[in-house]
């Protein structure tokens, strides 16, 4: 037990790591929203350096609605549902991974409930429970589905990419479920098909030979 | 004649039985530390809520680009490690300062790799959604474990001759695979950008 050099090396690495971690925890707080996109600071964003998932002291009348994404499946397991909440506005995506999809939007009410509407009379009614999950029903394309969507950790959530590839309007939506499984549809000029897999870390996806970037969808 | 009860008696048998235990500790301590480091990193990455993002360095387009270049720097010094190690062991002709080169290139490689790992664990966590990502997560934790073992082993003397090259080789292999599954993938997917 003689040479102290290797120990100093390990110690230096440990200190550097802890230093970087504290730097991340303090300076990273404003960018801590789970989207890379810049957004104005919200009332819901807590100034605490550590990211707490529990909202601070919810009052009985007005439920705190943290900015977050939720992803899950319908009760019959046929489709996936994801909801992203920002500033008490919500966007939802319903997708069966083959042909049926719907984008829905709306506001989150004070009691944590939401009624989101989409094209062709599609409706999603949901309630945010304990800031952990949204459950409710979705009426999409003539079907009636119950669903539960749990709060999604990165890279889980809702992604969207729109572009024009060789003259065709391409609109892709992806739900990355807890555990990493993806459900997505790419619509080319109104023709929906199963989507290729995106890289959830970067959003990179190749559609018809064209490299696109799917971004976290926000209301 | 009386016998002095306090007279010095014959000493206990020389501390021979302690030797093997100390010998085993030379291997056991590094192995246990390595396991603890690897498991701790993995558990932290798995359990804590990935922040998704962390601070960036000016001049780079994304944290992924920063990490890719830092990782590439670490990998470059790892290659220096391999060459200088062969020099130290006399397998390659080398200068007299080869061991110094080995020590310092290793330190730099390690210290450059630490911020990358911090970002990985803080922002992304331990993930398994793809084969590439799974292996990267496993090897990332393994690397810092086996590196700790290597550092601790260096403090012992009279190790079997094959042990340090073996552990060093593991460190090098792990770092290479980590680089292949991250930085090389990044450069191939997004181009060699800053």
Domain layout of chain B by residue ranges: 28-190
Arithmetic mean of pLDDT, A63-78: 85
Q: Encode pLDDT of A42-55 as tens digits.
A: 334 334 444 444 44
Alpha-carbon dihedral sign for residues A20, A26, A32, A36: negative
Q: Identify the pLDDT of residue A49.
A: 41
CA distance B97 to B40: 36
Q: Encode pLDDT of B76-135 as tens digits.
A: 999 999 999 999 888 888 888 888 999 999 999 999 999 889 888 887 888 887 788 899
For chain B, which residues lie within 8 Å of any Cβ of chain A, measuring from their own Cβ?
49-55, 64, 103, 106-107, 110-111, 114-115, 117-119, 122-125, 127-130, 133, 148, 150-152, 154-157, 189-190
Measure A198 CA to nearest chain B CA, in Å.
Answer: 11
Q: Identify the pLDDT of residue B113.
A: 92
Q: Identify the pLDDT of residue A31.
A: 39
CA distance B167 to A147: 51
Nearest neighbour of B152 by CB, restricted to A6, A35, A181? A6
Q: Which residues of A touch B55 (CB under 8 A)?
A: 23-24, 27-28, 31
Q: Identify the pLDDT of residue B176.
A: 94
Arithmetic mean of pLDDT, A110-118: 88
Is-contact A176 A157, C-beta < 8 A?
yes
Q: Identify the pLDDT of residue A41.
A: 38
- With CA atoms as reference, report the closest residue to A214 among A158, A167, A169: A158
CA distance B194 to B189: 13
Arithmetic mean of pLDDT, A7-15: 89
Nearest neighbour of A10 by CB, restricted to B103, B148, B189? B148
Q: Pick the residue with more confidence: B6 or B100? A: B100
Number of helices (H) and strands (E), helices first, in chain A?
1, 15
Residue A116 CB contacts under 8 Å (≥ 6 apart), including other chains: A83, A90, A91, A92, A104, A105, A106, A123, A124, A125, A126
Helix (H, G, I), strand (E, B) or coil at B115: helix
- Taking residue B108's Cβ as centre, other Cβ atoms within 10 Å add up to 16
Is-contact A72 A152, C-beta < 8 A?
no
Nearest neighbour of A154 by CB, restricted to B50, B111, B133? B50
Q: Encode pLDDT of A144-155 as tens digits.
A: 888 999 988 878
Alpha-carbon dihedral sign for residues B25, B26, B29, B31: negative
CA distance A127 to A110: 11
CA distance B19 to A199: 54
- Domain limits, chain A: 68-151, 157-216
Q: Which CATH number fits domain A68-151: 3.40.980.10, 2.40.160.90, 2.40.128.90, 2.70.98.20?
A: 2.40.160.90
Q: Which residues of A touch B150 (CB under 8 A)?
A: 6
H helices of B89-130, in order, are 98-119
């Amino acid at each position: 037990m003689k040479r102290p050099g290797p120990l100093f090396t390990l110690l230096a690495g440990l200190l550097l790591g802890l230093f970087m971690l504290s730097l991340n925890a303090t300076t990273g707080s404003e960018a801590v929203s789970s989207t890379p996109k810049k957004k104005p600071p919200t009332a819901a964003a807590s100034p605490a350096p550590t990211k707490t998932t529990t909202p601070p002291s919810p009052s009985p009348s007005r439920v705190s609605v943290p900015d977050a994404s939720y992803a899950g499946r319908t009760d019959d397991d046929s489709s996936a549902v994801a909801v992203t909440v920002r500033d008490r506005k919500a966007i939802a995506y319903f997708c069966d991974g083959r042909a049926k999809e719907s984008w829905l939007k709306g506001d989150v009410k004070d009691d944590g409930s939401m009624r989101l509407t989409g094209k062709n009379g599609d409706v999603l009614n949901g309630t945010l429970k304990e800031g952990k999950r949204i459950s409710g029903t979705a009426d999409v394309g003539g079907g009636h589905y119950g669903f539960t969507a749990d709060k999604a950790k990165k890279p889980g959530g809702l992604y969207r990419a729109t572009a024009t590839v060789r003259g065709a309007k391409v609109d892709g939506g992806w739900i990355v479920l807890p555990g990493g499984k993806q459900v997505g549809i790419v619509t080319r000029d109104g023709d929906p098909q199963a989507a290729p897999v995106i890289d959830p870390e970067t959003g990179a996806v190749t559609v018809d030979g064209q490299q696109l970037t799917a971004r976290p969808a926000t209301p | 004649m009386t016998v002095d009860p306090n007279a010095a008696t014959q000493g206990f048998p020389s501390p021979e039985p302690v030797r093997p235990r100390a010998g085993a500790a030379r291997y056991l301590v590094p192995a246990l530390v390595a396991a603890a480091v690897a498991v701790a990193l993995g558990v932290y990455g798995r359990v804590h809520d990935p922040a998704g993002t962390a601070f960036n360095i000016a001049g780079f387009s994304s944290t992924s680009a920063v990490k890719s270049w830092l990782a590439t720097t670490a990998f470059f010094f790892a290659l220096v490690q391999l060459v200088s190690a062969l020099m130290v062991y006399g397998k390659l002709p080398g200068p007299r300062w080869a061991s110094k080169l080995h020590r310092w290139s290793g330190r730099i490689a390690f210290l450059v790799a630490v911020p990358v790992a911090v970002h990985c664990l803080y922002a992304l966590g331990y993930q398994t959604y793809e084969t590439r990502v799974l292996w990267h997560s496993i090897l990332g934790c393994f690397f810092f474990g086996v590196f700790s073992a290597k550092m601790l082993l260096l403090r012992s003397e009279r190790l079997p001759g094959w042990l340090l090259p073996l552990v060093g080789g593991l460190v090098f292999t792990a770092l290479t695979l980590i680089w292949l599954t991250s930085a090389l993938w990044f450069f191939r997917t997004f181009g060699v950008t800053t």
